[in-house]
Chain A
Amino acid sequence: MTLLQASNITLSIDDTTILDGIDLDLQAGELLGLIGPNGAGKSTLLRTLAGLPGRSTGSVMLGGEDLRQMEARQRARTIAYLAQESSVHWPLMVERLVELGRLPHLTGWQQPASEDMRVIEQVMKQTDVEHLRQRVFDTLSGGEAMRVLLARALAAEPTILLADEPVAALDPAHQLEVMGLLQQHCNAGGAAVVVLHDLALASHFCHRLQLLDSGRTVAAGTPANVLTTDTLDTVYGIRGRPGFNSTESAITLPWELSGG
């Protein structure tokens, strides 16, 4: 089932083309990796998918409805967005921070009810941050902080998770942990689009990859089909060596700069 379908997403700012007619679709249960070199347009595309205000054209359909016409709170209950630089401006306690994820479900003066508390407890358990509940966010390590932010995003009970480089600043163990949580979300019937730079992680966890370069889709499909010697050379300018991903498909992993 197609949850999210974007067609012909285009964005030009002052004669510079940022996105050039990109199509993207996301199926239920699918973990889609957005990869590509710096400046390829991955984050901009993700922002468009999240419904953030911008000047991009094209259509984004969410379950048959135009994302831009959707009521904001309804959209917020369906799509959760993890921004690239997730700063928290006040030293909130973890528990309170996760609670903010419930905002799309609360109207007016409504305070979190027992159902909301149940969801909060559940996502904190799922992301293993229960023991951090009384800690102030600023005092957490990188891995802990990302798990808390993920818990915040999951607390909205969204179908679709959009995450912009969620593992960029983490050590390998925490990277695997966070990717595992995203995978879990997809296995439970949700779906996620993740911007990644680590091709090994991308091929290992994502069902499908979409490779962007200069605002265009260069390749899309299974990791084995996308991560080829050819694409690595033309898009990233690197030579790879053969490897295998979780499904034992042959992929190419970065090894050295090409041309040298």
Chain B
Amino acid sequence: MNSSRTNTGLSQGGIITMFTLLLLLLFFVSLTLGSNPLPLLKAAADAVSESPTIISLILTEIRLPRTLIALLAGATLGLCGAVMQGLLRNPLASPGLIGSSSGAAFGAVLVLYLGITDVVQLALPVGGMLGSLAAMLLVYMLAGRDASIITLILAGVAINTLALALVSLILNLAPSPYAVQEIALWMLGSVADKGMHDFWLLLFPTLIGWGLLAGSGKALDALTLGEDTAHTLGFNLPAIRWRLFLALALAVGAAVSITGAIGFVGLVTPHLIRPLVGHQPSRLLTTSALGGAAILLLADILVRLLPPGQEIKVGVITSLVGAPFFLYLILKTRRVQL
């Protein structure tokens, strides 16, 4: 009787298993779907053979990186949303709303269109990270440490608007004539037409970011009781805050520099997962990462099911679903505050 610690439906292990299976399924669906259906087994066999064929190239050089990037970026958004909401104790905090994504887009746009990435590839995620960090710190300074939900969101809106304006300014001033048409790519986000080189560029900063975030569960749990109590439970909050800001910037910056600012995955995922894990921040981390990966991959699969020719950006799908959810959250938050 006393060990009924899993009354909230599933155990965490069960949820993780469930999501892993779902991800596996989506992974194979994602590899199969494209401009033409792909005979997966044959393509895989060709891929490991001496001379790769057209279908094996489509598998390994086009669909695999697209799928892997969707997984990594989705997981980053889900995880970072969960960490931000826990750290700031604000249900509306997320990479998209507190400036982290748009700041990253600004940083990445700056280095890409100035041609710095042609010299140093790694400049792209680094630019994204610095932009993300700067935007987050600005929002944090604007809103103050114990900001109310609304103050933080307002500060986020201000910084988002600024970052968006700077992005369009750079794209307009960029020497490349293609730049100006790429604003949707940055503001909505897309994982189409990526290659394994993009994946490798994304992988390492992402893993470092995740690594730094992974150990934050206990601190986030403690923060449930407020900053003072968390401090008296033995957590050095300023150090934790810095570590998490850096880690968030690293992960979000890398993801956005490759995919653009994909909206609402980071906001929505933790809210969908939270009831499954009894609302405990530490239990939300892995599960939100898996959930975010599943949501983004699913959205990208949907994009590919739409009639070809019109390349709809994956961010359109996530925003179409996410924006109403955001409104619902606002209504819910308002009710609680009244």
Contacts and interface: CB of A to CB of B under 8 A. Distances in A.
Indicate whether A and B are direct neighbours in the complex (CB within 8 Å): yes
Interface string B253-295: 0000000000000000000001000111100000000000000
A83 B232 CA distance: 10
- From B233, B235, B236, name the one whose CB has the most chain A CB atoms within 10 angstroms: B233
Given A93-B8, A93-B278, A95-B5, A75 B234 contact: yes
A109 B233 contact: no
B5 A81 contact: no
Interface stretch (A7-15, A25-33, A100-108): A100-108
Summarize B's interface: helix, strand, loop or mixed: loop
Contacts of B89: 89
A91 B8 CA distance: 12
A134 interface: yes
Given A76-B234, A91-B279, A47 B228 contact: yes
Nearest to B5: A95
Interface in B195-228: 215, 218, 221-226, 228
Nearest to A92: B279
B218 A87 contact: no
B145 to A, nearest CB: 12
A89 B222 contact: no
Given A92-B280, A108-B215, A83 B233 contact: no
A109 B274 CA distance: 21
Interface residues of B, number: 28
A76 B281 contact: no
Interface string A232-253: 0000000000000000000000
Given A76-B232, A121-B2, A134-B7, A96 B225 contact: no
Given A92-B224, A93-B8, A93-B278, A100 B233 contact: yes
A152 B230 CA distance: 12
Interface string B50-78: 00000000000000000000000000000
Interface of B: 2, 4-5, 7-8, 89, 215, 218, 221-226, 228-229, 231-236, 238, 274, 278-281
11 contacts: A51-B231, A52-B228, A52-B231, A81-B232, A89-B223, A90-B274, A91-B279, A103-B221, A104-B234, A106-B218, A109-B215
